[in-house]
Structure 1
């Protein structure tokens, strides 16, 4: 499902030489014995996910999506990035879906919140609030204000069917509030961290409300689990990618730019940045994850990539079959001198731009490139891609002997912020 090509990466070590280390770490992942093993629930989640809750997600989604002109997804980090990445990748940016999704609770911006408030004033709204504890500041602030807006508009009784809470199964501020108010609740598993949670209710509920085939998504997730069950580096593309990343870092490449040529996959890059940045960026180690959408960002970043300091490598996340395509038209006057492209596929033009850029960056710019190729941008492929990156991320972190599942550094800014805000 995902092809891997390292032939453009100038690797000075052989990926296969890492086989003994990969065997050891693979067993550690499968047995859940590595650092942070209490957050390895995603490993066998394709088989162990709560089937009863899954059916309830489908049922609730069907019951609310007809009343939702706007679905508000209130969460931050892993509580929204995966869902947004999936919705945009699978449905595109202008899908014509009768339900519009707005992501909120992921910023302190007063302007953003007030503009959303004004926009939804005369629209039918359903709100999905997502927080393990219910006390994440950005999300908690937005939810309090949205809850009051919706109660004023609909009344407390109707809000029981319009507000959905995804939170801890038994405890926490949001769980207590949801139980008190009578909201339908869904579970964030204890053993799956936020950045690995898109195939739990965290992502599946908003995706189902938006009309995405979550059964297909989970089928792709499971296929990746099966395909990547063998540690053999001749077969396991996720481990090949993980090892190649480590080799490139050993060669002094401390930044990785994930590049897509599809605007609808820009948020996949944002989701991927959290997954890898929060997992391996600790103990003074890790590769800085950044992302770009070409050819758009070639007009801003291309010069640095081509001729700037050689600190980065690129990982191209390419798509074999676009969601839609068309032919470039003929023009009799040809004043723009573009007739040389007539009757050419628009996707073919995109792929030729990719080919030319790869040649420029690799051969002239001496920039290493890894290539990952997806078959399409459908739900099955998204699910497969998620598991692929989960497994690759765990491997690349364990090779560094660091815990992929904690994030102690993010607590520092929170303590400073709370002090400045006057919180006890």
Structure 2
């Protein structure tokens, strides 16, 4: 079972700093309201991610594709950005061999290599196209709207390359994961007879990892999709309680909210002590930032709310960031992500007994060292009055990852209620998209583009060349 140890968030453990337990206890009533509001929005169908753990026909469709047409390919390439890519990357890092794409076919049990192209840097993209064998590759274009500039530019380039190489056979090398009814990808799929998978209309991109967005790549790479969904279902069930003390998602949200708004710690560091959990922190950054960083509350009041999520990695960042966390401003909480049992461990040989600096390592393992460093960092932070907590999974497997995804998604919507904002929208992101369309010459945006160019000209005196 996933555990949440929040002792080191409390003033009783931090020498007077940290959250007063009485203040946390007083959040119980607010949490019941947050829980009721979330349940109402879930039951109305507004928060569709809750239902993803139930699977359904889409999962059967995914498995049929993965076990059928999907077997014809040696490479699966996901074209997506943000919520269309980060969850898949986290799944790949957590649940596949660390060198998966470098293994030969037999070592991968003939499952395809899995690549995620989530940016439009031309150097990276062109190098990949020069490397990949198009005839053995399936491109999964992931965009719910079908209007994501980065993803659609990738698609247009890939489509042209496929047509030049394969003629009319290009269609077999494309799969669209998009809205079930609307959007340009859905229209193109109908026009060109391209295979599709649906993203439920009531599931936003950053909440979509347990939909076809993440499940199709997972299934094609041999990840146990059923276990992922079982873990998510069990966590959702565990979070049905409106008792703050027994609801891990509620407790995580309440503690982080109090730390940010009442204890001057709006920076939330997520620090996995596991390379396999590294990209879960990247996925969480988008979830937390895009959901909670809002100018207006749900009733339209101006608030400029939101914590700042930061990614760190233990033990690597003990040597780059922890000095700041130990002795810098008291404006951060640190959430450690840990696995209780490593799937594989490596023994450290005993050598150089006459050098105390090395002799103490002998007879231990790398897993012991990593866990000890995490425990030592927790203790050191607590001694300095720095708030920290630990989320621990029994082991990094599909069941645990599904539960972890669901817990953090539910925590995010609870936090949205505490802040008074809508965790499901992203108006700031949409403005950036509109300006991009304007600069690129999309009809209807000429005035915005002129204003942008004028503003740039005014600022030119302040550019060092």
TM-score (normalised: structure 1): 0.93
For 2:255 and 2:19, locate their aligned partners in 1 and report how far apart those are by CA, in whole Å: 7
Partner of 2:340: 320
2:278 to 257, 266, 269: 266
Partner of 1:162: 173
Give the superposition deviation at 1:75.
0.7
Give ranges in structure 2 of 5+ residues lacking alignment: 10-17, 296-303, 444-465
2:51 to 25, 29, 44: 44
Assess if the C-alpha contact under 8 Å between 1:186 and 1:201 holds in 2.
Answer: yes
Does 1:2 find its partner at 2:9?
no
CA RMSD of aligned residues (A): 2.0
Assess if the C-alpha contact under 8 Å between 1:39 and 1:405 holds in 2.
Answer: no
Does 1:71 find its partner at 2:83?
no
2:116 to 88, 103, 116: 103
Question: What SS is found at the alignment partner of 1:66?
Answer: helix
Work out which of the two has the higher radius of gyration on C-alpha atoms and give 1 or 2. 2
Assess if the C-alpha contact under 8 Å between 2:66 and 2:219 holds in 1.
Answer: yes
Superposition pairs for residues 215-294 of structure 1, below 5 Å? 215-249=226-260, 250-283=262-295, 284-294=304-314
Superposition pairs for residues 397-416 of structure 1, below 5 Å? 397-416=416-435
Q: Deviations over 1:146-202 (max 9, x none)?
A: 112122223323x33321111111221111111222221110111111110111111
Q: Deviations over 1:28-49 (max 9, x none)?
A: 2112179xx76411223333x4
Extract structure 1 runs of 4+ deviating beyond 6 A: 332-336
Give the superposition deviation at 1:73.
0.2
Aligned length in residues: 417
For 2:354 and 2:124, locate their aligned partners in 1 and report how far apart those are by CA, in whole Å: 44
Question: What SS is found at the alignment partner of 2:392?
Answer: strand
TM-score (normalised: structure 2): 0.85
Assess if the C-alpha contact under 8 Å between 1:69 and 1:123 holds in 2.
Answer: no
Change (3 A) 1:358 1:123: farther
For 2:91 and 2:313, locate their aligned partners in 1 and report how far apart those are by CA, in whole Å: 16
Give ranges in structure 1 of 5+ residues lacking alignment: none
Give the superposition deviation at 1:122.
6.8
2:331 to 311, 335, 338: 311
For 1:293 and 1:92, locate their aligned partners in 2 and report how far apart those are by CA, in whole Å: 19
Give the superposition deviation at 1:334.
7.3
For 2:135 and 2:330, locate their aligned partners in 1 and report how far apart those are by CA, in whole Å: 50
For 2:134 and 2:437, locate their aligned partners in 1 and report how far apart those are by CA, in whole Å: 35
Assess if the C-alpha contact under 8 Å between 1:29 and 1:43 holds in 2.
Answer: no
